């Protein structure tokens, strides 16, 4: 295991700010995040409403789908920390490409629509969420995933068009899912969908896909602001981290 850990250190991306996978601060972040996610899921079970008995359960909500993906990302991350497995670490980083931008999208849409009119995102029959619970569903997941990306992960390598393709698949896959749930339940999870016609829903989901892709691009930009940016040597085509972009957290000290 010590040899595996040494190899992981040797192959770590030079821009990664803090040690990960590790049983230290990386594991602590993943454990705290998972505790928050577990609290959110437990609230759904301990405070049932009509959605609990409906087709699709709370997975009709994009919030809960994003929370599930965030929990999977952090669960794999914690396992990588415990085992110091480079393979699990790579899987966690792959999941993050979808989960972090999705949670950023969820936070922006939820708080933006809520600022316009709470009734767009909360049905009249649904109990009002306590503020701490609201944060656990709609703010903490995005903050935790962004922190994991900025301080405990290598930079994203996905280009904008593939990110837009992934976002489009998620957005329109979700549209298909909620329409299926509507066939059984005769209600939509978000009141906003009730007031939109088909054309307007297409616009909403297309705009959401674009916003998620832009979130990916913004995270790439923010990562380089925080951690610096590699430059490619024209002489040999290899990437290196210039001294002016070094950060004290660079484990390789390059």
| Inside any domain, residue 14 | no
* Strand ranges, E, within the chain: 231-232, 239-240
Task: Count CB neighbours of 157 within 10 A.
Answer: 10
Question: What number of CA atoms fall less than 13 Å from residue 168's CA on the CB side?
Answer: 9
Alpha-carbon dihedral 71, 134, 156, 87, rounded to 10 degrees: -10
Residue 253 lies in a domain: no
* 61 inside domain: yes
Spatial separation of the C-alpha atoms in residues 12 and 249, rounded to whole Å:
12
Residue 13: beta bridge partners?
A: none
Q: Which structural domain, as residue segments, surrounds residue 133? A: 19-227
Tokens of 233: 């040597």
Q: Does residue 232 form part of some domain?
A: no
Asked if residue 66 is part of any domain, the answer here is yes
**Domain total in the chain:** 1
Q: What is the pLDDT of residue 230?
A: 74
Q: Is residue 242 a part of any domain in this protein?
A: no
Cα(15)–Cα(219) distance, integer angstroms: 14
pLDDT tens digits, residue range 29-80?
A: 999 999 999 999 999 999 999 999 999 999 999 999 999 999 999 999 999 9
Within a domain: 211: yes
Q: Indicate whether 5 belongs to any domain.
A: no
| 19 pLDDT higher than 60 | yes
What digits encode the pLDDT tens for the residues 87-120?
A: 999 999 999 999 999 999 999 999 999 999 999 9
Summarised one tens digit per residue, pLDDT across range 114-152 is 999 999 999 888 888 999 999 999 999 999 999 999 999
- Tokens representing 238? 């290899």
Which position has the higher pLDDT, 231 or 101? 101
């Amino acid at each position: 295991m010590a040899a595996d850990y040494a190899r992981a250190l040797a192959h770590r991306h030079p821009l990664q700010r803090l040690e990960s996978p590790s049983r230290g601060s990386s594991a602590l972040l993943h454990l705290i995040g998972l505790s928050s996610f577990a609290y959110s899921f437990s609230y759904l079970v301990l405070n049932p409403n009509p959605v609990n008995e409906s087709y699709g359960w709370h997975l009709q909500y994009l919030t809960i789908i994003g929370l599930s993906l965030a929990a999977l990302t952090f669960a794999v991350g914690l396992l990588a920390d415990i085992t110091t497995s480079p393979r699990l670490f790579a899987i966690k980083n792959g999941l993050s490409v979808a989960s972090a931008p999705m949670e950023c999208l969820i936070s922006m849409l939820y708080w933006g629509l809520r600022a316009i009119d709470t009734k767009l995102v909360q049905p009249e029959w649904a109990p009002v969420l306590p503020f701490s619970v609201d944060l656990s569903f709609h703010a903490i997941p995005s903050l935790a995933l962004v922190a994991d990306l900025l301080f405990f992960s290598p930079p994203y390598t996905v280009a904008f068009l593939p990110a837009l393709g992934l976002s489009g698949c998620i957005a329109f896959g979700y549209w298909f899912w909620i329409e299926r749930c509507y066939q059984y339940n005769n209600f939509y999870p978000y009141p906003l969908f009730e007031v939109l016609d088909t054309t307007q829903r297409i616009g909403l989901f297309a705009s959401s896909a674009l916003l998620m892709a832009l979130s990916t691009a913004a995270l790439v930009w923010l990562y380089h602001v925080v951690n610096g940016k590699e430059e490619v040597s024209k002489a040999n085509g290899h990437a290196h981290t210039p001294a002016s972009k070094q950060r004290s957290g660079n484990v390789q000290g390059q």
